[in-house]
Chains A and B, each alone.
Chain A
Amino acid sequence: QQQVKQSPQSLIVQKGGISIINCAYENTAFDYFPWYQQFPGKGPALLIAIRPDVSEKKEGRFTISFNKSAKQFSLHIMDSQPGDSATYFCAASRPSNTGKLIFGQGTTLQVKP
């Protein structure tokens, strides 16, 4: 079963716009929610991460919003730039399973100049 569901599968945004990617999870034992960014031909790299004791975390133009009761979290990219064009993955893991990240299906973002 898909424990982490990500949407949309693809997203096209104009330069300067806001990109929003959503994820929903099922396992209430998850306590670590990272977002990874992947450029073509490269491995994923950590972008930003959140734990459920806070509802929002911001790093530069990137913000994670977390809704524990709805079991949802989202990535917001403000002032989107063509250099942000990449595939984004949300993930989740449990404290007793370090090393066992469960990923969403991925979102391909294209930012048009």
Chain B
Amino acid sequence: NAGVTQTPKFQVLKTGQSMTLQCAQDMNHEYMSWYRQDPGMGLRLIHYSVGAGITDQGEVPNGYNVSRSTTEDFPLRLLSAAPSQTSVYFCASLRGTRSMNTEAFFGQGTRLTVV
């Protein structure tokens, strides 16, 4: 059981480049989220999805796009990379219902450096 798989694990981008961070889950979870982790800031929610075709913004959505065409996949797109987007990115899927949160399962993370 793979759980949540993120690719790539490491990436270096030049300022202005675009790229897509991939996230796939095999647990048939309805809910998926993207977070960025920065020292002293904890995990901040970028975007989340409550099901295929439905996404919404989190705390820090600027500079990022998401889509959810299938239950399994939730890619995160950086439109024009900036040094401020240097961070560790985590994808999570959640087992829960619309009225009750339960456990979030996280991927191993993508360490992104923008130079």
Contact = CB atoms under 8 A, between A and B. Distances in A.
Contacts of A43: 4, 90, 92, 106-109
A32 B100 CA distance: 8
A34 to B, nearest CB: 8
Nearest to A42: B108
Nearest to B58: A100
Contacts of A49: 102-103
A95 B103 contact: no
Interface in A1-48: 6, 9, 32, 34, 36, 41-46
A103 B46 CA distance: 12
Contacts of B43: 44, 89, 91, 101, 103, 106
Query: Do most interface residues of chain B lie in helix, strand or loop, or is the interface mixed?
Result: strand
A95 B40 contact: no
Contacts of B31: 98-99
B42 A104 contact: yes
Contacts of A96: 98-99
Interface string B80-104: 0000000000101010111111111
B13 interface: no
B108 A99 contact: no
Interface string B32-45: 11010000111111
B106 A44 contact: yes
A63 interface: no
Contact of A101 (B4, B41, B45, B108): B45
26 contacts: A32-B100, A34-B104, A42-B108, A43-B90, A43-B106, A49-B103, A89-B43, A91-B43, A96-B98, A96-B99, A98-B31, A98-B97, A99-B31, A99-B32, A99-B48, A99-B50, A99-B101, A100-B33, A100-B45, A100-B58, A101-B92, A101-B94, A101-B101, A103-B35, A105-B41, A106-B43
Interface of A: 6, 9, 32, 34, 36, 41-46, 49, 89, 91, 93, 95-96, 98-106
